[in-house]
Structure 1
Amino acid sequence: MLHTADHRQPLSTGPAPFTPMRSPPSVGSVAVKSISLTSKKNWWMVELDDEENTLNATQLAEPVLNNYVPHSQPPPPPPAIPSSPTYHAPRNPSTIFSFPTPAIYSAPPNATASLKPFALGSASELFKCIVKKPEIVQLEINDEMQSNALDVTAQFLAELRVYTRVAPHRNIPAFLGCLDGVGMVLEFLEGGTLFDYLKQYAPLPRIRLCDFHNQLLDALTHLHAHGLSHGDLSLLNVQVMERFGELTLKMIDFGRSVSASSVLAPPDGDPVDPWVHLNTDPTEPRKEQIFPGTRPFSAPEILRGECHDAQLADAYSFGMVLVCLERGQLVDVKPWNQRKDLYPEDLLDGCTLFGGRIREYLRRGDERRRLLRDDTIDITSA
């Protein structure tokens, strides 16, 4: 039995929902030149064309002469009606799960071993789960069709890589395989996000802060040990669920994960075809684009398009999460300051437990402290 649910929640302070447009008007002599769509429907970037594309005022003031003499020549043909634009769709991410689904995306042995069934039958156990399927957005701009299919494909392939390459871990949702022609199947996560939990229960007691620190650190170092990064660690991408009488954190949404062995390209460069690596030598370095995650958790070098070590960027995100946990609230850093590795002087006010570590995590990328499993805090002494 499958129960579908979506554990992703948008920031309450995020941009307004995206509304598709047809042929957006130009502003004066400035017109839309190109638009880049991401997998999130309300994330899109517009590039403006500064070239003159309209008649100036003097041209409009000049009289238009009509040299047509009646009956001396045939009337001019009517203007041609432009045909509908031809849309060449990018590789559809749904083909990832086309029948038969590749064996590399199958569930690991005994995938439900760590799950608790919600019902028992005479011959079966029933589990709740999440079915995550790709969703494509298409938009017509200036008679050209735009699509986020490549970005959606890249994110699903990145997430599948995490679930199929990383060994099972208590702080990572269990991967239960794929449904042919549909999408991936994941463990059902009850409860809210870490952001929701913080709003309801802050300030957190010292022992709870240490426990949450240790769980997130263990999950991230486990991921790094397999040569991968998270890429978008934030309060919204951590789920808090009560499990066997204890609070367990689950890191979710690995769509921005990249490999430590990949060559990282900035987001504003030419799009990287996520299908290319399937037909190339697996021993050759793979090229992946690294995109900014949720502010203010995204590392400055990613915002500048200069990231060369995604695992160090995870350490910055982890430091910002610790700031929010210890202060008991969501903090903000202006993006123009964050790109310069600057943050408010009062950012660490009240951070008496993690303050020293946070400072090392928020340093410049070449001076930043890496995440180490040995940094676990002894809760008995907390």
Structure 2
Amino acid sequence: MRSIPPPLGSVAVKRITLTSKKNWWMVELDEEENKLNAAQPFPSHAEPVLNDYSHPLPPSAPAIPSSPTFNAPRNPTNIFSFPTPSIYAAPPNPTASLSPFAQGSASELFKCIVKKPEIVQLEINDEMQSNALDVTIQFLAELRVYTHVAPHRNLPVFLGCLDGVGMVLEFLEGGTLYDYLKQYAPLPRIRLCDFHNQLLDALTHIHAFGLSHGDLSLLNVQVIERFGELTLKLIDFGRSVAATSVLAAPDVEPADPWAHVNTDRPEPRVEQIFPGTRPFSAPEILRGECHDARLADAYSFGMVLVCLERGQLVDVKPWDQRKDLLPEDLLDGCTSFGGRTTQYLRRWDERRRLLREDMVDMANA
């Protein structure tokens, strides 16, 4: 497909970058039209380029015999090329917590989800543009979560990777938290407290390993019903970043997505942090000024709590949200958690952190 932007007077398009969300484009403008030729697109048609970075093993992984150094490929279609490195391996006995949907005399069958890279490329201004870089960033970020964070009840089970295909995850049978809210709102207090505790437990678990979720929203939480009990599962960790990284805005020069797998480079590492789903994305991320990704998760958690308590999806005008402004009636009726929701939605330097001690006592719910 060929797309030619309309004339912009004295302002010209410097670079248009596709992201893995096909309705989200990043556009950089130049004040002088002659700067247009200085654009550096991200080619996806080039041959994969190997780097010299090797993957570290997750802290909890058992010792593995030495093997040739694995060089992470630059092309996302080759992330899972044979042989799949040990860093992408599943933990021991990953199906222990899963129930097979069928059993034979010599095997058990499990349902699973396979996530594979999907690349889109367009010809713009006679140059090929691709979302290959963004796809790579998201897949590496999600793999880092699944291979570094210990298994948890509220996270999908990671089953490893398939050579030449992608990562394999537990099959989650159920709708999103948004779907559940539409059907069952308003929620009783005991259900609110249960969902609060499950989300808080999952987020603090991820944070304890020095990582963020990055895109918490009603759409990135699955509600699973098993044996009459509801279990929430956090999904989609493609916007996760490390707490030890220096966070850069998405409109700066692209950061090296393989920096976190390189043990030879000195700290600090640089990772770009991208906006998540509005209105759950923290204001500092929308401004490109995020300093602490785990505090940004706290803001997203606060917005999820507002939606749960009000029984509906809420919204904030983008220009107000960027300025840390909230509608006057946003928190009306939000009293179930002792005012902590208000503290989650403050400016980042005044915001309450997510703490396991804030779990609600279900006996008094």
- Does residue 2 of structure 2 align to residue 21 of structure 1? yes
Which residue in the other structure is 1:162 paired with? 145
From the superposition, tell whether residues 311 and 86 of structure 1 become closer, same or farther in structure 2 (CA, over 3 Å): closer
Using the TM superposition, give the Cα deviation of residue 268 of structure 1 relative to its aligned residue in structure 2, in angstroms: 1.2
The CA distance in 1 between the partners of 2:207 and 2:134, in whole Å, is 23
Which residue in the other structure is 2:26 paired with? 45
| Range moving further from structure 2, 282-291 or 33-42 | 282-291
Give the counterpart of 1:311 among 270, 287, 294: 294
The DSSP-based 3-state class of the residue aligned with 1:186 is strand
Q: Which amino acid aligns with 1:229?
A: S
Q: Which amino acid aligns with 1:134?
A: P
Which residue in the other structure is 1:200 paired with? 183
Q: Contact 1:298 / 1:316 at 8 angstroms: preserved in 2?
A: yes
Normalised TM-score (structure 1): 0.83
Q: Contact 1:150 / 1:273 at 8 angstroms: preserved in 2?
A: no
Question: What is the total number of aligned residue pairs between the two structures?
Answer: 332
From the superposition, tell whether residues 182 and 27 of structure 1 become closer, same or farther in structure 2 (CA, over 3 Å): same
Which residue in the other structure is 1:58 paired with? none
From the superposition, tell whether residues 278 and 175 of structure 1 become closer, same or farther in structure 2 (CA, over 3 Å): same
The DSSP-based 3-state class of the residue aligned with 2:97 is coil
| Structure 1 residues 176-200: Cα deviation after superposition (integer angstroms, max 9, x where no partner) | 0000000000000011000000001
Which residue in the other structure is 2:255 paired with? 272
Normalised TM-score (structure 2): 0.87
From the superposition, tell whether residues 316 and 276 of structure 1 become closer, same or farther in structure 2 (CA, over 3 Å): closer
Q: Which amino acid aligns with 1:23?
A: I
1:48-127 to structure 2, matched below 5 A, reads 48-49=29-30, 51=32, 88=46, 91-127=74-110
Which residue in the other structure is 1:327 paired with? 310
Which residue in the other structure is 1:3 paired with? none
From the superposition, tell whether residues 86 and 291 of structure 1 become closer, same or farther in structure 2 (CA, over 3 Å): closer
Q: Which amino acid aligns with 1:223?
A: I
Q: Contact 2:44 / 2:75 at 8 angstroms: preserved in 1?
A: no
The CA distance in 2 between the partners of 1:131 and 1:87, in whole Å, is 24
The CA distance in 1 between the partners of 2:121 and 2:301, in whole Å, is 34
From the superposition, tell whether residues 25 and 279 of structure 1 become closer, same or farther in structure 2 (CA, over 3 Å): same
Which residue in the other structure is 1:235 paired with? 218
Using the TM superposition, give the Cα deviation of residue 30 of structure 1 relative to its aligned residue in structure 2, in angstroms: 5.3
Using the TM superposition, give the Cα deviation of residue 274 of structure 1 relative to its aligned residue in structure 2, in angstroms: 1.0
Q: Contact 1:38 / 1:152 at 8 angstroms: preserved in 2?
A: yes
Q: Contact 2:259 / 2:270 at 8 angstroms: preserved in 1?
A: no
Q: Contact 1:241 / 1:249 at 8 angstroms: preserved in 2?
A: yes
The DSSP-based 3-state class of the residue aligned with 2:339 is helix
The DSSP-based 3-state class of the residue aligned with 1:113 is helix
Q: Which has the larger radius of gyration?
A: 1
Give the counterpart of 1:339 among 322, 345, 351: 322
* Structural RMSD (CA): 1.9
Q: Contact 2:193 / 2:362 at 8 angstroms: preserved in 1?
A: yes
Using the TM superposition, give the Cα deviation of residue 123 of structure 1 relative to its aligned residue in structure 2, in angstroms: 1.5
| Range moving further from structure 2, 237-246 or 176-185 | 237-246
The DSSP-based 3-state class of the residue aligned with 2:151 is coil
The CA distance in 1 between the partners of 2:5 and 2:319, in whole Å, is 29
| Structure 1 residues 270-297: Cα deviation after superposition (integer angstroms, max 9, x where no partner) | 0012134444516632210011100000
From the superposition, tell whether residues 167 and 201 of structure 1 become closer, same or farther in structure 2 (CA, over 3 Å): same
From the superposition, tell whether residues 282 and 165 of structure 1 become closer, same or farther in structure 2 (CA, over 3 Å): farther
From the superposition, tell whether residues 287 and 86 of structure 1 become closer, same or farther in structure 2 (CA, over 3 Å): closer
| Range moving further from structure 2, 164-173 or 282-291 | 282-291
From the superposition, tell whether residues 86 and 260 of structure 1 become closer, same or farther in structure 2 (CA, over 3 Å): closer
Q: Contact 1:348 / 1:355 at 8 angstroms: preserved in 2?
A: no
Give the counterpart of 2:126 among 135, 138, 143: 143
Which residue in the other structure is 2:39 paired with? none
From the superposition, tell whether residues 367 and 143 of structure 1 become closer, same or farther in structure 2 (CA, over 3 Å): same
The CA distance in 2 between the partners of 1:128 and 1:280, in whole Å, is 36
Q: Which amino acid aligns with 1:211?
A: D
The DSSP-based 3-state class of the residue aligned with 1:221 is helix
Q: Which amino acid aligns with 1:144?
A: E
Q: Contact 1:198 / 1:328 at 8 angstroms: preserved in 2?
A: yes
| Structure 1 residues 195-226: Cα deviation after superposition (integer angstroms, max 9, x where no partner) | 00000100001100000000000000000011
Which residue in the other structure is 2:166 paired with? 183
Give the counterpart of 2:116 among 127, 133, 158: 133
The DSSP-based 3-state class of the residue aligned with 1:191 is coil
The DSSP-based 3-state class of the residue aligned with 1:365 is coil
Q: Contact 1:25 / 1:31 at 8 angstroms: preserved in 2?
A: no
Q: Which amino acid aligns with 2:236?
A: D
Using the TM superposition, give the Cα deviation of residue 137 of structure 1 relative to its aligned residue in structure 2, in angstroms: 1.1
Using the TM superposition, give the Cα deviation of residue 144 of structure 1 relative to its aligned residue in structure 2, in angstroms: 1.3
From the superposition, tell whether residues 359 and 276 of structure 1 become closer, same or farther in structure 2 (CA, over 3 Å): closer
